[in-house]
Every structure is written in C-alpha cells, then in structure tokens.
Amino acid sequence: MFDTTSDQDPAVRKYDLRSVRHVLCGAAPLSPEMSSLLLDLFPEAQVGQIYGLTETATTISMLPARQARGPLGSVGQLLPGVRAKVVKDDGSLAAAGEPGELYVSSPSLALGYHNDDAATRDVFINEWVKTGDQVLISPEGELYILDRIKEMIKVKAFQVAPAELEGCLLEHPDVLDCAVVGTPDAYSGEVPFAYVVLTADARQRLKEDASEFGSKVRSSIMAHVAARKSRYKQIRYVEFLDAIPKTPSGKILRRKLRSRLHRCFLLPNAKL
C-alpha cells in the first residue's frame, strides 16, 4: 500500500501502474484536481467515483461501464431505480446545475434508524432520504458532491466547501496531504483553516530552518490559494501536521481537527 494523496509522494512514481484497469473512489468527495492526478497516475485505467450511504443500502451513483473516464469531480450517474431531487435552502427544487441538498429514493432504502424515532423522522421523509450532502446535477445527469452541508464553512453570507480548497492545496508543490475546517472569526463568522502535511523534502527543510522556512511556506500556501480562489475562499490560517486523522475508509475526521484549533499557529487576523 502507498498513499496516492499527491504525486509529491516519491512512492507514487516508484511503481509501474499501467496494469491497473479499474479505479473507483468513494468515502469522500474527490476534487477535480485530485481526479486529474489519478488520471495521470493510471493512464490505462477506467477512473471514476462511486457514491452512496448506509441508509440507501450503499450505492446511489457510479461511473457508467460505458465511460472510460468520468468528468472531473463527478461521482457518476444515478443507478437504475434510483430517483433524486436537489432541494435549495428555501425548500424549492433546484434546476440542473444549481446546488442544493440531495434527496434520494430507491427500492433499497432502509426503513429507519433502530430505536431512534427522532432521527428517523428527520432523515426519512415519506419515500425520500435526506442525505445531508450539498450537490448539483448537471444537465447531462452527472452528480457532483460539493461537501457535507454540516461541514460547509460560512464566510459572511457565502458557503465554502472544504473539499474544493483541499483540492487546490494539493496542487502546491510542498503539500502532500491536507484538510480544511472552519474556525470562528469575529468579522466574517468563520474563515478557512488549513491543516497541511508537508512533502518529505519540505519537512526536511522545515527541520533545518523551522522559523524562516515555516513562515515562507505558510505564506506560499496561502498565496497559492488566493491566486486561484475567490477572496472569501482564501485560507487564513495554516498548521503543519505529521498526518491528517482519517477513518479506515479515508474520511477526514474534522471533529478531531476542530478540537486542535486552540493550539494552532495563528496568522494576523486581517479583514477579508
């Protein structure tokens, strides 16, 4: 096993991966940037994403067998028998390409949660399951998961998806892995806070000159995002970690990261 979170890891380029024929990713949204890296790493493979929930007896959508490569960032198309609707914040139905919360219905839905009537009433609404994921469905029927609604960072009146910023961060040459969470801010409500795992080369340079290199690479990481994302999406704080805490299936444990915020290195809190 080796970590393919970034092509900055030397192990990724150590092996000939042309024999791999199928790559399906799940558990967490795969950014367009990461999807592009996978396409480069597995040039002969069918590469795409798969999406589902325990409440739906797992799979809802996946890369169709007829497609060699899925559109960047897409989790595929709905499986036969699955119906979906996208509901906006005001309760109205979203049009194609508009973001909102995903509701799904299929013959495989669970009946509810064991001994938890309150949670069942909140999630299982008539024949629909309220997924808690913010998505959009393209006119071509491709499903894109933006992020978990409860994980969205609310900067003033804007919503920022951590997965979008994480994909951008992974393009930085010194970043091996990363995670983004929201931290309270008196002016903006919340601002993006990045936890970063540096590449082996960057870690060595940090050991040799922790103060100067640490300051430079933090500024470089923030500038990298600022040059590619809207003003309200800019990273405001950066902390280095040895590893990003994740579940066995690869989901980022953001709750653990939020608990570290009071110990983080904080940069000056300038207004956006």
| DSSP per residue, 127-175 | TEEEEEEEEEE-TT--EEEEEEGGG-EEETTEEE-HHHHHHHHTTSTTE
Q: Which residues pair with 133 in a beta bridge?
A: 148
Q: Are 32 and 144 in a shared domain? A: yes
pLDDT of residue 270: 39
pLDDT of residue 8: 55
12-16, 46-50, 86-90, 248-252 — most confident range: 86-90
Q: Say yes or no to pLDDT of 119 above 50.
A: yes
pLDDT of residue 42: 84
Instruction: Judge whether 27 lies within some domain.
Output: yes
Q: Say yes or no to pLDDT of 265 above 50.
A: no
pLDDT of residue 262: 57
pLDDT of residue 269: 43
**HSE-CB for 40 with a 13 A CA cutoff:** 13
Instruction: Judge whether 270 lies within some domain.
Output: no
- Residue 5's pLDDT band, with cuts at 50, 70 and 90, is very low
Q: Are 172 and 120 in a shared domain? A: no
Q: Which of 131, 150, 169 is the last residue of a domain?
A: 150
141 CB neighbour count, 10 Å cutoff? 14
Q: Say yes or no to pLDDT of 4 above 60.
A: no
**Residue 115 domain boundaries:** 10-65+72-150
User: Which residues lie below 8 Å from residue 159, measured CB to CB, with a gap of 6+?
Assistant: 134, 152, 153
- Residue 1's pLDDT band, with cuts at 50, 70 and 90, is very low
pLDDT tens string 107-116: 999 999 999 9
Q: Are 139 and 159 in a shared domain? A: no
Instruction: Judge whether 78 lies within some domain.
Output: yes
Q: Which of 102, 131, 150 is the last residue of a domain?
A: 150
17-to-3, 91, 256 alpha-carbon distances in Å: 14, 46, 34
| CATH number, residue 248 | 3.30.300.30
Q: Are 22 and 112 in a shared domain? A: yes
Q: Which of 150, 178, 194 is the last residue of a domain?
A: 150
37-to-29, 43, 95, 212 alpha-carbon distances in Å: 14, 10, 31, 31
Q: Say yes or no to pLDDT of 155 above 80.
A: yes
pLDDT tens string 202-241: 999 888 888 888 889 999 999 999 999 999 999 999 999 9
Q: Are 204 and 156 in a shared domain? A: yes
Instruction: Judge whether 271 lies within some domain.
Output: no
pLDDT tens string 78-93: 999 999 999 998 999 9
pLDDT of residue 34: 76
Residue with the bigger pLDDT between 262 and 109: it is 109
Q: Are 93 and 132 in a shared domain? A: yes
The torsion angle over the Cα atoms of residues 114, 119, 122 and 125, rounded to 10 degrees, is 0
Q: Are 140 and 243 in a shared domain? A: no
Instruction: Judge whether 146 lies within some domain.
Output: yes
| CA dist., res. 187 & res. 96, Å (int) | 34
Query: How many domains are contained in the chain?
Result: 2
Instruction: Judge whether 3 lies within some domain.
Output: no
